[in-house]
Amino acid sequence: MPSRILIIGACGQIGSELTTKLREINGIENVIASDINTRKLDLVNSGPFEIIDAKNFNAIKDCCKHYNIDTIYLMAALLSATGEKYPMEAWDLNMNSLFHVLNLAKGGTIKKVYWPSSIAVFGPTTPRELTPQHTICEPTTVYGITKQVGERWCEYYYKKYGVDVRGLRYPGIISHKAMPGGGTTDYAVEIYHEAIKTGKYECFLSENTNLPMMFMDDAIKATIDLMDAPSEDLTIRSSYNLAAISFTPKQIYESIKAHLPDFTMTYQPDFRQAIADSWPSSIDDSVARRDWNWQHRFDLDAMTKVMLKALRKKYHNLI
């Protein structure tokens, strides 16, 4: 029998593509999408959809009972850059939504939880190169603090109550289907759009800021692979390190310029530079590769080809 899945925050950058993929695998009627609004009408109209505030415990519980949900993917969050502007809102959403879902699992309403963490759990005291699974975590952003605390609660609920909770520390995610939602790595999405639309881009990070990144297809694959892995194979219940590629703004510029020779880029670092400087430049995800055979598929140049092809088609159709 297919899982009955609820995705909270389904209209977000990752949530929207995760919803589509899970519906392909499990059937449209078995994947209920939810968000606080209906801003992505294509997703709203493509299958079951409920308006749910992730901070509302009773709304989540009622939805789970109505649809007989057994698995929740909690994708709702305020990200790093937005969280610095609205710190209390970020804490409220990111933490209380997690408690609601963990407590539903603890009480037996649902059986399995997916909750994403981030490289934002790391900080300036973390080893920057090949950051290990177990290391110093002293985050400097509200978003990072919520993710660090959330990781500890996930492991606590697993050990104390047997909750089957799983998570990944996402790097920067790059996609042509959904616009980013207020993260420090957003430049790596915006740059492709502007390369096609205007032929130029002003980057809010300096040219040699090296950060871990990942193409959306790999992020979705990793998420589903982790959730499909046998419980007994998993050794991490906080969140697994996850990696694919690392690159700088200059390197992504050169990758795009190989296809668009007239493309130009300037640099005007803003407050997000300090956030980026506190994060690792590469991640050691050997535990994920050992435990559930994680393998990424896209390098920078392969990703650039897909991004430019898709965005050429998108903007050509809008003209």
Residue 168, pLDDT above cutoff 70: yes
Calpha distance 4→58 (Å, rounded): 19
Share of the chain above pLDDT 70, in %: 98
Mean pLDDT taken over the chain: 95
pLDDT tens digit string along 187-240?
999 999 999 999 999 999 999 999 999 999 999 999 999 999 999 999 999 999
Residue 250, pLDDT above cutoff 50: yes
Element housing 49 (H / E): strand 49-51
Residue 71, pLDDT above cutoff 50: yes
319 confidence band (pLDDT: 50, 70, 90): very low
pLDDT tens digit string along 102-117?
999 999 999 999 999 9
pLDDT tens digit string along 271-301?
999 999 999 999 999 999 999 999 999 999 9
- Collect all residues with Cβ–Cβ distance below 8 Å to 95 and sequence separation of at least 6: 146, 149, 150
Q: Which amino acid is at 139?
A: P
Question: pLDDT at position 164, please?
Answer: 98
Q: Which residues are marked as active site?
A: 143
Question: pLDDT at position 318, please?
Answer: 59
Residue 82, pLDDT above cutoff 50: yes
Domains present along the chain, CATH in parentheses:
5-170 (3.40.50.720), 173-213+244-318 (3.40.50.720)
pLDDT tens digit string along 7-25?
999 999 899 999 999 999 9
With beta carbons less than 8 A apart as the criterion, state whether 205 and 267 touch. yes
pTM: 0.93
CA distances from 78 to 8, 13, 25, 109, 145 (A): 13, 12, 28, 26, 12
Question: pLDDT at position 179, please?
Answer: 73
- CA nearest to 217, candidates 17, 63, 38, 61: 17
Share of the chain above pLDDT 90, in %: 89
